[in-house]
Structure 1
Amino acid sequence: MAATASDKRRSLRQRLQEPGLIAAPGVFEMISARVADRMGFDALYMTGYGAVASYLGLPDAGLATYTDMVGRAGSIARGTSTPLIADADTGYGGLLNVDHTVKGYEAAGIAAIQLEDQEFPKKCGHTPGRRVIPAEDMAKKVRVAVEARDSDDFLVIARTDALTTLGLDEALRRAEMYAEAGADIIFVEAPETVEQMEKICRTIDKPLLANMVEGGKTPLLPKAELEKLGYKIAIYPGTAFLAMGRAVEDVYTTLRETGTTEGALDRLYKFEDFSRLMGFERVWDFDKKHAD
């Protein structure tokens, strides 16, 4: 029997209480989600950057709407058996919007929602020019998010982007406020040194999330070091779409330069295996069952 949304939420909350780091690969559409879902991860992470890029072909700069994002997240949640953590940007407006967003994401089958304290329109956390709202306003958003959920198993992740422009002390002050407001997990975005990461982990008494972005501001650390520092979750939002972009460009170059893809076959997913990944076995079995 397929895992229900409630099952997946309970699974993630329980895993959060157990030893060891939760590694959550970034997924952004159903191909990356299906691939990751088969690999035994404790959680998946729907990256806002990747979802906006793949769905709209636009930068992650506050251009996607609530409807865009909840639809994408719901498709991934319904099509996978692994608990899904989903980016919900700033909550898409004021307090009433946050209430609506939390209820919508929970109804869509998400296991955990991530909300951040940037001004609207927001920007990707590893790009310049980010500005944050007053900490008190974000704390209200966190309280509303916690009140809006139907189940305590639906986790609220509070992210602060204050470090880059306002410094680590302000980021830590905000993180503590958001923890006191009821956030289940705290996400201090874009520390630039291991020393900053150490201080974050020493200061905040809540499960902490580390954002491992290849080419981003934060040092890429191995699992053992992240665990030693005190992180509980590590997300890898860009890994899949960066890999996909490189691979697609590579095979298209082969096609353009040689006029055939024959020289790239060893770099392609086998067609029959890909068809099975997308669920064609059920179609084949259905056709056999109902054949004249």
Structure 2
Amino acid sequence: MLGVHKSPDEKRHQFRASLFDSSLLQLPGAISPLCAKLIEQKGFQGFYISGAVLSADLGLPDIGLTTATEVTDRGRQISQATNLPSLLDADTGFGEPSNVGRTINALEDAGISACHIEDQLMPKRCGHLDNKSLVSIKDMQLKIRAAHLSRRYNTFTLIARTDARGVEGLDAAIDRAKAYVDAGAEAIFPDALIDEHDFEAFRKAVDVPLIANMTEFGKTKLLSKAALESLGYNAVLYPVTMLRLAMKAMEAGLDAILAEGTQVSLLEEMQHRSDLYTLLNYPAYGTYDKTITNFKVGGETSLVLS
């Protein structure tokens, strides 16, 4: 809509340039198109579309219950709201290698800039939960290869996520990452690393861009931007941060309304109507409407078609 002028391919170029840049690419999780617009307004260079958030938004746990269609459609809505590039969580690719290839094409058509595919077996689990099972290295390589061959835009970035740290150990996770790069992954997302030692070991062993996950209440020590930059990481995700902030604020608001019978005490905690209208670019839509309907023929208003 108004204010969004970059094409999907321009966004894909932007993501790749930022991923290979010397500074750390910070990607907050966008829980909605409106949230994505706020992330853009605040000056971030991109955003993340989390599978855990999409599942939660549907009232479901993050165990692979969402479908490729649901994820693609929501990804399209969020990615089209801004000029920023988007990285989307494609879970296990929604099937076998041929299904993964079709998923990649759907995400390209939806305007997504990049995606990651993980090496879990179904039913999958959040990367910071226990009792996960992994596919074989060969099977994951086949999925990555299918994604690579199916991709129609070389600017669409293919990222492999490995959950092996908590299942097979650090060394095995690194071995898997190297095998995934050999199969065509352009970047690696090692999930549920523990501390600086893990991050440093991965950086020393793997020579493609690395993505850190700074999710709250999980297995990973929360590291600052400066710390991750010093460790040589290329991007960092804050996947569920916005959802957790929003849900906590909503809990407090609902409790106050129940207890007090009014929302008056909450006004200072709310985004003001005027700030929301600014974020939505209300004035520009008013101008746009006038330019459509200001052409008159025979005294009657007519639509301007060109």
Q: TM-score, normalization: structure 2?
A: 0.91
Q: Distance in 1 between the 2:263 and 2:250 partners?
A: 12
Moved over 2 A (4+): 275-292
Counterpart residue identity of residue 3, structure 1: K
Q: Which of these residues, 42, 64, 67, is aligned with residue 66 of structure 2?
A: 64
Quote the Cα distance in structure 2 between the aligned partners of 1:230 and 1:150: 30
2:24 is matched with 21
Cα distance, 1:112 vs structure 2: 0.3
**Are the structure 2 counterparts of residues 262 and 288 from structure 1 closer, same or farther at C-alpha, using a change threshold of 3 Å?**
farther
Q: For residue 17 of structure 2, what is the amino acid of its counterpart?
A: Q
State the AA in 2 paired with 1:117. Answer: D
Amino acid at match of 2:259: E
Structure 2 stretches of 5 or more lacking a match? 295-300, 302-306
Q: CA deviation at 1:272?
A: 2.6
User: Are the equivalent residues in 1 in contact too, given 2:94–2:103 (CA < 8 A)?
Assistant: yes
Residues 188-199 of structure 1 mapped to structure 2, 5 A cutoff: 188-199=190-201
Equivalent residue of 1:42, what SS? coil
Q: Is the 8 A contact 2:41 2:279 kept in 1?
A: no
**CA distance in structure 2 between the aligned counterparts of 1:287 and 1:78, rounded to whole angstroms:** 21
Kept in 2: contact 1:29–1:51 (CA 8 A): no
Whole-angstrom distance in 1 between the partners of 2:55 and 2:200: 32
- Determine the structure 2 residue equivalent to 1:159: 161
| 2: CA distance, partners of 1:17 / 1:172 | 20
Letter in 2 for 1:6: D
Task: Note the C-alpha offset of 1:285.
Answer: 3.2
Q: CA deviation at 1:279?
A: 4.4
Residue 276 of structure 1: how far off its partner (Å): 3.5
- Asked if 1:34 corresponds to 2:37, the answer is yes
Letter in 2 for 1:178: Y
TM-score of the superposed pair, with normalisation by structure 1: 0.96
What residue identity is the alignment partner of 2:62?
D
AA matched with 1:11? Q
Aligned to 1:111: 113
Give the whole-Å Cα distance in 2 for the aligned partners of 1:180 and 1:259.
Answer: 61
- The residue number in structure 1 matching 2:80 is 78
Aligned equivalents of 2:140, 2:43: Cα separation in 1: 34
Counterpart secondary structure, 1:186: strand
The aligned counterpart of 1:101 is 103
CA distance in structure 1 between the partners assigned to 2:76 and 2:118 by the alignment: 20
2:206 corresponds in structure 1 to 204
Q: Secondary structure at the match of 1:156?
A: strand
Contact 1:26 1:239 in 2 (8 A): yes
1:91, 1:98 within 8 Å by CA — same for their partners in 2?
yes
The question of whether the paired residues in 1 share the 8 Å contact of 2:216 and 2:222 is answered with yes
Partner of 2:122, secondary structure, is coil
Counterpart position of 1:52: 55
| Sequence identity (%) | 36
Tell me whether 274-283 or 147-156 shows the greater mean CA deviation: 274-283
Give the Cα separation in 2 of the matches to 1:5 and 1:23: 20
Contact 1:132–1:161, Cα closer than 8 Å, also in 2 = yes
CA offsets per residue over residues 148-195 of structure 1, 9 Å max, x none?
A: 111111000100111111111111110000011111110111011221
CA displacement at 1:143 relative to structure 2? 1.1
